Structure 1
Amino acid sequence: MYGLPRITVEVPVTSIGSGSSDYEELGSYVVGLRRQQGLHLTLLHIGILADFAQDITEWTKGSTSAEAATRRTVAWLKGLPILDGFPGSAARLIVLGGGHVCGLEVDVPQRVRDFQVMLVQALHQLLEDLLVDNVDDFILSSRALGFRYPRWVPHVAVGRPMSRTGYWEIRPLAIEFGESRIRNRQSLPAVDAE
């Protein structure tokens, strides 16, 4: 399933610091600094839709088909509310993903944390509607969802770390975010209203 688009609910970064040089300074901490265009903060990761639907089918032992899981999940995603843009700030880089990703740890307003909690609660409801029992166990074991940590850490991935552990204090950066969106929305299949 490599190459298939991953579905996330995210907010795009619209600016970092006072200019491009502020962002480029991070290159002294990071290998392969990502381009500033396309940076984002993930609020909820669904993963490859076909994998997510298959995880549900396997968990429910076929009670929910992959087609039904796909249809309901797409309708659910398209019906999610939109979070307005907001300001954030970062004062350190942290290592994530088992040492493969370096990210700006972002301080976000409480309403952003509340929105992320709402997304997780909505995911719980979707899974219950799809006949998934032990929803928390499913979320932690789903290959598609890829949840590894019980606590959400707001971050913007910027490259690969020079060291696989630790964090680095940096000069504080103001970060502006746009409104929330579904990453790879255009790849979602069309579904009929139920």
Structure 2
Amino acid sequence: MQPLPRITVEVPVLAVGSAPSDYEGLGTYVNALRSPQGLHLTLLHIGILADFAQDVADWTKGTTTAGDAVRHTAGWLQELPVLDGFTGTSEQLIVLGGGGISGLEVDVPGRVHDFRESLVQGLHDLLDRLLVDNVDDFILSSPALGYRYPHWVPHVAVGRPLSRERGPRTIAPLTVAFGPSRIRNGRFLPAPD
């Protein structure tokens, strides 16, 4: 049985550096360097839609059903504006999560931060419409959303750290080009009514 897909709003990585060798050079810092195809920067993580919807239904004690949460969330995602492509820079690798992932920390233009803020505000508004009280508490405690920290660090996950060293590692500056925003696994969202 195939696992259910995770839904995110992301921007795809089009290029890292000026030549493929720039990205391949990260292999000196990272184990199991990910293929450059499929690299992305996540702007908003929803998680598995059915799990998110169940989190909403549980939080509201059934006032909002999981089915209503799926329908409204899918509609909201499908109506999101698109962020145009942009270029960022990276000068360090950071360790993410429990220490199992290395990522390029990316300095992105202000409009990307503004877009990200608009997504978070939109998520707040959606949760208000879904009758979720204490929205901030819900966001930080929903297993589907998976947020542990309110501060967003733009990054591109590239592999596993070579060592258990937790601090950032300085690298030669790299330009990272991103395409327009998209909904990852959007094809799995239910069709609008």
The alignment's TM-score, normalised by the length of structure 1, stands at 0.97
The alignment status of 1:167 with 2:130, answered yes or no, reads no
Kindly report structure 1 stretches of 4+ aligned residues shifted beyond 3 Å: none
Equivalences for 1:1-194 in 2 at 5 Å?
A: 3-164=3-164, 165-192=166-193
- 1:34–1:158: 8 Å Cα contact kept in structure 2? yes
Between the aligned partners of 2:67 and 2:149, the Cα distance in structure 1 is 29
Amino acid at match of 1:148: R
- 1:128–1:135: 8 Å Cα contact kept in structure 2? yes
Q: The residue matched to 1:76 in structure 2 has which SS?
A: helix
- 1:99–1:163: 8 Å Cα contact kept in structure 2? no
Amino acid at match of 1:143: P
- 1:96–1:102: 8 Å Cα contact kept in structure 2? yes
| Structure 1 residues without counterparts, runs of 5 or longer | none
Between the aligned partners of 1:153 and 1:52, the Cα distance in structure 2 is 22
Between the aligned partners of 2:7 and 2:70, the Cα distance in structure 1 is 12
Paired residue total: 192
What are the superposed Cα offsets for residues 111-136 of structure 1, whole Å, 9 maximum, x if unpaired? 00000001000000000000000000
Between the aligned partners of 2:181 and 2:130, the Cα distance in structure 1 is 25
Q: The residue matched to 2:98 in structure 1 has which SS?
A: helix
- 1:41–1:155: 8 Å Cα contact kept in structure 2? yes
Classify 1:65/1:189 alpha carbon distance in 2 versus 1 (closer, same or farther; 3 Å). Answer: same
Between the aligned partners of 1:163 and 1:46, the Cα distance in structure 2 is 30
Q: CA RMSD in A?
A: 1.1
The alignment's TM-score, normalised by the length of structure 2, stands at 0.97
